[in-house]
Structure 1
Amino acid sequence: MESKIEIIEKILKEKNIKCTNQRKAIIEVFVNQDAHFKPEEVYDLVKGKKIGLATVYRTIEILKIHGIIEETTIEKDRYYELKLFSEKRLHIHFKCSRCNQIYDYDKTEMILDLIQLRNFAEQEYNVRVEDIKMIMNGVCHKCRG
């Protein structure tokens, strides 16, 4: 059975994109950690491997274009998370205003409400909703004590 990294390498190869050691190191960050990353955070994790910030930005853009990672903008900051293997296709982001940690919420009841909202918008306004991004801000359980 192919690993997630091998599958991503295969996808890139099919698109005639070389999977260099630098790109592989960046891909490993997303595959090995279930988190949201700013490009600078990815850079901090891979810079010991002699990877430049420009390479991180270019690789993130390639991964985003090909549906491997997803971009979410929260308060002018762009965050990226692995999308390709995600089982939480529709989820809500919560950003703590104290520690800046981002949490994913995907409880069935919340997702059903989002689906109901999507269905209403499609019927009421005769549109096709392709994506929903919901971001909640507040103080997380750790910071509340």
Structure 2
Amino acid sequence: MPPLLTIRPATETDVPAILALILELADYEQLTHEVVATVDSLRATLFGPSPCAEALMGCVNGEVAGFALFFQNYSTFLARPGLHLEDLYVQPAHRGCGLGRALITAVARIAHERGCGRYEWTVLDWNTPAIRFYESLGAEMKSDWRIMRVTGPTLESMARVAPDA
């Protein structure tokens, strides 16, 4: 019998599981050293007075086995909102059963229902299995774009730069 897959909105009680999945994802991506998230910081940013993002939980036979975390962005070219999928993760033991597809398409449905003009995410260039999976869904690799990022002390320094008068 195939496993029972369910997708549901995350609740505040899911925060410890979300953090555990984030840590698994960071380990897979060899980025554990970048994780500073805590149960408290996730609770505040996902379920506090001004939530910054949303999450869906992917369950296999009633047990959490993955998640999708996303937030709204905006396209000036389209003059419409969009959704950015920040993280999609399925535990290795549950890959191949359709949970990743169920999660990514559930977020696509949300984007469509909200009138979004775009649904985007990033993928590490070495993650060939993920790239093949995304392309099998019809996603287009935007190879001419590169992510620019500032964090920590560099962000603080940039924020202190006085604008030209």
TM-score of the aligned structures, taking structure 2 as reference length: 0.25
> Which structure carries more strand by proportion?
2
> Which structure carries more helix by proportion?
1
TM-score of the aligned structures, taking structure 1 as reference length: 0.28
